């Protein structure tokens, strides 16, 4: 079977406001997150302003995350924790919410159904 | 000047008509011979004047103050560009250097002694000229090549043409006037351009038509090289794209295909320009000089960069395409419609050397790429060196013309120019090199395939192909790697006390790298004395932390002989007990965090109960539309009794993306635990 090449990972870095109007940085992922997404994921993380303490991950346009992609996200969240940043996420499909729970990502990130509720929870 | 065919020198045709009559035997047979039907080259000297005035077509105009232009080809004179003999240099070489625009030729002739006054006369214009003309006879326009309008002149690649002359020209003075026009950019092509490059020929229509056919044959002969090169390019293009289709990892095949496609397009444009009037010379020149030639040179540089497998090709792309763009812009400014209109003619003083610098810089890039290639792999580089040298020769043929070096020849009557010859030879060498590299690649792939096969054999030894027979349990396992070797693993380790330690896991990633991690894990498990699941996972975590990139999900279950199960999990898919997913806490996979601890859960496996463990390759199987198999389908699948093999087969048929492993343990009999 000929496999289609995975859609390239793109990450957009946005600034937004939390529920109490303090600023936060949003990493908006799109495409598939796989082992080849390292540069896109960590390249985006390096763009996060140094004084940012609140990080929101938007997975609404992510179609697939394989095990290597999960490993990347774990590394990302561990790096965020090391940098004293709090992370929230939204937009994950139920399948990947379960995968996040299985691999223990819940201890690093809380997932919300949408951006507003995620921002309000900061 | 842009025509590539030979100006056929014609010194007069003499026709012999043999009339053989069958006379009565009593009479002597007679052969009647009629001589004198002929055509004459109008070598002049013609009167010549630059500028334009339609009154100059008038036969009564006094041109006595004009200069003269003899169109007699000098012995041994040849075109620098086309290598053709009988070539008359243009006005830029004969007292009017750098001149472009309109100029007129005038000649008075007196046609006498024609044999057949009713037959009429025709004029054949020379096949070589720059760039367009109108022909007037006694003030009446009889034909033109190119389109003359108030907005300018549209011109085409020069071709042979004949025109019938008005009747009743015999035995009286006749004035032939040729209004020439040359584009401002034409002097860049060769140093001897301008006007007519041979004498018009006047004669009887049948002989003029014969001459025309000869001119076309000369054109065909001169273009033989282009046809041959097109055929070779097409073959190499198909070979290159075919090889790329077979081996996508070798980008040089793709870029050679693009080189050939560009060159082929160029030749198609050239041939269309010669044989049809579909496109004018201005768009032809724009396409050739502004688009195709700069892109062609750039593609050659990139092809060799890929061929020599240079690093930082992204940077090379940036430099090459930057220079290609600069060259294209420079050429656009030196070609119609910009040059002479938007760009002043005197702008060539700095534009010409500047574009030449860009072109030479691209050549320098090619030399640099070759140098790097030889430094990187001396044998490969030296083998390719003749081909690169020929490519350079083909790319810079035009510069040899400027240096007054002939570039076209007619060996054995076959028209060929240096560029075509060099391209053909280089393509021949490159094709041999391509096939050599492809065969080497095939051998390398065969070697890797054999090594992967050996790795698979090793993995099959490490991972049980058949579940062991364990009293009181039925164990079934299936392992379907996504490639030759996989990143899933499981171990079934019976204990002396009748217990069964089952460890299943999944290394992130696939292929040989994941398989090597599997080997490390299996080796570590076989040396592990702990049987408590949390301790087994903690031990593996210590082994793996800092050693692997990515992670390893793992589940360990210790099933006592009496069915008591202790389970610990490290990010692995929770097991299913009789088709129902066991609720487990999430936990980080192995290798992510030093000193991680793993909680345990306990439950009882009753007789006939089945515990099923599987890797994420089942839930994450994908169909052709990219839909995941998903956890819900897994749960639905397990609602009925089903074997591990069936589960694996369903996922595989759905669309295997990752390694799939499924292991089931069914308690078959009531056994008491043996005290340790």
* CATH number, domain with residue B40: 2.60.120.260
pLDDT of amino acid B234: 95
- N-term to C-term CA, chain A: 46
Q: How far is CA A101 from its chain centroid? A: 14
pLDDT of A18 strictly over 80? no
- Give a yes or no: residue B13 inside a domain: no
Which of A1, A71, A95 faces B631 most closely, judged by CB atoms?
A95
Q: Sorting pLDDT into bands at 50, 70 and 90, what band is A7?
A: low
Where is B505: in which H helix or E strand?
strand B500-507
- Give a yes or no: residue B618 inside a domain: yes
- Give a yes or no: residue B458 inside a domain: no
Distance CA B296, CA B310 (A): 20
Final residue of a structural domain among B219, B251, B282 = B219
- Give yes or no for a contact between B197 and B182, defined as CB atoms under 8 angstroms apart: no
Q: Quick one: tokens of B298?
A: 């750039």
B380 with B425, same domain: the answer is yes
Which residues from chain A sit within 8 angstroms of residue B553, using beta carbons?
67, 102-103
For residue B652, the chain A residue with the least C-alpha distance is A1
pLDDT of amino acid B10: 30
Test B658 with A66 for CB contact under 8 angstroms. Answer: yes
Which residues from chain A sit within 8 angstroms of residue B551, using beta carbons?
67, 70-71, 74, 103
B187 with B253, same domain: the answer is no
CATH number, residue B634: 3.60.40.10
Q: What average pLDDT does chain B have?
A: 85
- Give a yes or no: residue B285 inside a domain: yes
B187 with B275, same domain: the answer is no
pLDDT of B647 strictly over 80? yes
Test A101 with B586 for CB contact under 8 angstroms. Answer: yes
Q: How far is CA B40 from its chain centroid? A: 50
Final residue of a structural domain among B204, B219, B234 = B219
Q: What is the pTM of this model?
A: 0.56
B608 with B632, same domain: the answer is yes
B65 with B199, same domain: the answer is yes
- Give a yes or no: residue B498 inside a domain: yes
Distance CA B157, CA B180 (A): 14
For residue A96, the chain B residue with the least C-alpha distance is B630
Mean local confidence (pLDDT), B383-400? 86
B156 with B282, same domain: the answer is no
B604 with B627, same domain: the answer is yes
CATH number, residue B390: 1.20.1070
Mean local confidence (pLDDT), B156-170? 85
- Domain region containing B23: 19-219
User: Residue B72 has what DSSP assignment?
Assistant: P
- Tens of pLDDT, residue by residue over B299-337, are 999 999 999 999 889 999 999 999 999 999 999 998 877
The shortest C-alpha distance from B499 to chain A (Å) reads 27
Distance CA B187, CA B407 (A): 17
- Give a yes or no: residue B456 inside a domain: no
- Tens of pLDDT, residue by residue over B4-60, are 322 232 333 223 222 233 334 444 456 655 555 578 889 989 999 999 999 999 999
pLDDT of amino acid B577: 93
Mean local confidence (pLDDT), B224-228? 86
Test B657 with A66 for CB contact under 8 angstroms. Answer: yes
Q: Sorting pLDDT into bands at 50, 70 and 90, what band is A2?
A: very low
Residue B644 dihedral angles phi and psi, to the nearest 5°? -60, -40
- Tens of pLDDT, residue by residue over B562-614, are 999 999 999 998 999 999 999 888 888 998 888 888 889 999 999 999 999 99
Q: Sorting pLDDT into bands at 50, 70 and 90, what band is B143?
A: very high
The Cα-based distances of B31 to B14, B20, B24, B25, B28 in angstroms read: 17, 6, 14, 15, 10
Final residue of a structural domain among B219, B249, B272 = B219
pLDDT of amino acid B37: 55
CA dihedral B37, B39, B45, B51 (to 10 degrees): 130
- Give a yes or no: residue B653 inside a domain: yes
Percentage of the residues of chain B whose pLDDT score is greater than 90: 44
pLDDT of B119 strictly over 80? no
Q: Quick one: tokens of B106?
A: 């005038």
B396 with B526, same domain: the answer is no
Which among B558, B483, B548 has a CA at the least distance from the CA of B518? B548
Side-chain half-sphere of B242: how many Cα atoms within 13 Å?
10
pLDDT of B252 strictly over 70? yes
pLDDT of B263 strictly over 50? yes
Residues pairing with B554 in the sheet: B505, B571
Mean local confidence (pLDDT), A33-62? 90
Highest mean pLDDT pick, B183-187, B556-560, B658-662 = B556-560
B542 with B435, same domain: the answer is no
In order of start, what are the domains of chain A with their CATH numbers?
A: 10-120 (3.30.750.24)
Test A67 with B619 for CB contact under 8 angstroms. Answer: no
Where is B553: in which H helix or E strand?
strand B552-559
**Can you tell me which residue has the tokens 């590394």?**
A75
Test B657 with A4 for CB contact under 8 angstroms. Answer: no
Percentage of the residues of chain B whose pLDDT score is greater than 70: 90
Which residues from chain B sit within 8 angstroms of residue A95, using beta carbons?
619, 628, 630-631
pLDDT of B675 strictly over 90? no
Test A103 with B588 for CB contact under 8 angstroms. Answer: yes
Distance CA B187, CA B336 (A): 12
- How many domains are there within chain B? 3
Which residues from chain A sit within 8 angstroms of residue B626, using beta carbons?
4, 63-64
The shortest C-alpha distance from B616 to chain A (Å) reads 9
Q: Which of residues 484-513 of B touch A (CB under 8 A)?
A: 506, 508-509
B497 with B542, same domain: the answer is yes
Test A63 with B571 for CB contact under 8 angstroms. Answer: no
B211 with B274, same domain: the answer is no
- Tens of pLDDT, residue by residue over B170-223, are 777 889 999 999 988 888 777 789 999 999 999 888 889 999 998 888 878 778
Test B574 with A64 for CB contact under 8 angstroms. Answer: no
Q: Sorting pLDDT into bands at 50, 70 and 90, what band is B548?
A: confident
Where is A87: in which H helix or E strand?
strand A86-90
- Give a yes or no: residue B100 inside a domain: yes
B413 with B557, same domain: the answer is no
Test B571 with A102 for CB contact under 8 angstroms. Answer: yes
């Amino acid at each position: 079977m000929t496999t289609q090449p995975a859609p390239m990972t793109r990450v957009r870095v946005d600034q937004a406001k939390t529920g109490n109007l303090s600023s936060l940085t949003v990493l908006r992922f799109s495409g598939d997150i796989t082992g080849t997404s390292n540069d896109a994921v960590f390249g985006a993380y390096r763009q996060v302003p140094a004084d940012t303490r609140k990080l929101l991950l938007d997975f609404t346009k992510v179609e697939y995350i394989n095990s290597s992609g999960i490993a990347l996200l774990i590394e990302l969240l561990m790096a965020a924790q090391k940098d004293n940043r709090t992370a929230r996420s939204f937009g994950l499909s139920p399948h990947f919410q379960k995968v996040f729970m299985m691999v223990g990502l819940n201890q690093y990130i809380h997932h919300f159904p949408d951006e507003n509720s995620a921002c309000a929870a900061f | 000047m842009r025509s590539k065919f030979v100006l056929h020198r014609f010194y007069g045709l003499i026709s012999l008509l043999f009339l053989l009559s069958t006379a009565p035997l009593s009479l002597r047979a007679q052969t009647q011979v009629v001589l004198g039907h002929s055509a004459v080259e109008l070598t002049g000297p013609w009167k010549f004047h630059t500028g334009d005035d339609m009154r100059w077509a008038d036969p009564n105009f006094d041109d006595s103050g004009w200069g003269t232009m003899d169109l007699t080809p000098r012995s041994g004179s040849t075109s620098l560009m086309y290598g053709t003999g009988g070539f008359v240099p243009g006005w830029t070489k004969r007292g009017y250097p750098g001149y472009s625009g309109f100029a007129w030729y005038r000649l008075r002739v007196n046609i006498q002694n024609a044999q057949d006054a009713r037959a009429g006369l025709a004029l054949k214009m020379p096949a070589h000229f720059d760039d367009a003309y109108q022909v007037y006879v006694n003030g009446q326009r009889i034909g033109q090549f190119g389109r003359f309008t108030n907005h300018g002149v549209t011109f085409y690649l020069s071709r042979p043409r004949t025109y019938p002359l008005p009747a009743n020209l015999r035995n009286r003075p006749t004035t032939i006037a040729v209004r020439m026009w040359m584009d401002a950019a034409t002097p860049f092509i060769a140093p001897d351009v301008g006007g007519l490059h041979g004498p018009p020929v006047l004669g009887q229509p049948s002989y003029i038509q014969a001459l025309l056919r000869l001119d076309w044959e000369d054109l065909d002969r001169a273009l033989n090289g282009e046809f041959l090169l097109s055929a070779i390019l097409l073959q190499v293009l198909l070979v290159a794209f075919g090889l790329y289709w077979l081996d996508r990892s070798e980008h040089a095949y793709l870029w050679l295909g693009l080189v050939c496609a560009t060159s082929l397009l160029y030749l198609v444009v050239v041939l269309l320009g010669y044989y049809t009037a579909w496109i004018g010379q201005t768009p032809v020149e724009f396409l050739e000089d502004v688009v195709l030639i700069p892109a062609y040179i750039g593609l050659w540089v990139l092809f060799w960069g890929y061929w020599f497998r240079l690093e930082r090709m992204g940077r090379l792309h940036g430099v090459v395409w930057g220079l290609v763009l600069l060259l294209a812009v420079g050429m656009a400014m030196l070609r119609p419609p910009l040059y002479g209109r938007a760009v002043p003619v005197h702008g060539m003083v700095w534009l010409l050397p500047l574009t030449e610098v860009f072109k030479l810089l691209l050549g320098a890039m090619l030399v640099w790429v070759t140098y790097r290639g030889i430094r990187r792999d001396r044998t490969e580089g030296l083998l390719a060196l003749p081909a690169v040298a020929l490519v350079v020769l083909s790319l810079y043929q035009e510069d040899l013309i400027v240096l007054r070096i002939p570039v076209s020849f007619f060996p054995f009557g076959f028209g060929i120019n240096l560029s075509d010859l060099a391209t053909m030879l280089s393509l021949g060498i490159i094709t041999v090199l391509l096939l050599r590299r492809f065969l080497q690649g095939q051998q390398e792939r065969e070697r890797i395939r054999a090594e992967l096969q050996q790795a698979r054999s090793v993995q099959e030894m490490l991972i049980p192909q058949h579940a062991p027979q364990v009293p009181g349990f039925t164990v079934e396992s299936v392992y379907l790697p996504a490639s030759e070797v996989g990143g899933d693993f499981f171990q079934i380790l019976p204990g002396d006390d009748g217990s069964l330690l089952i460890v299943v896991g999944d290394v992130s990633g696939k292929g040989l790298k994941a398989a090597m991690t599997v080997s490390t894990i299996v080796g570590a498990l076989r040396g592990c004395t702990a049987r408590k699941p949390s301790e087994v996972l903690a031990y593996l975590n210590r082994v793996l932390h800092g050693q692997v990139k990515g992670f390893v999900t793992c589940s360990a279950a210790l099933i006592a002989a009496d069915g008591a199960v202790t389970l610990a999990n490290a990010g692995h898919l929770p097991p299913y007990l009789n088709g129902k997913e066991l609720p487990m806490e999430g936990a980080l996979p192995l290798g992510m965090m030093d000193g991680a601890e793993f909680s345990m859960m306990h439950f009882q496996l009753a007789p006939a109960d089945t515990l099923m463990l599987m890797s994420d390759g089942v839930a994450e199987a994908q169909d052709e539309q990219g839909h995941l198999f998903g956890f819900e389908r897994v749960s639905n699948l397990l609602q009925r009794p089903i074997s591990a093999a069936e589960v694996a087969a369903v996922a595989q048929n759905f669309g295997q993306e990752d390694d799939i492993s499924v292991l089931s343990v069914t308690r078959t009999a009531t056994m008491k635990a043996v005290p340790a």
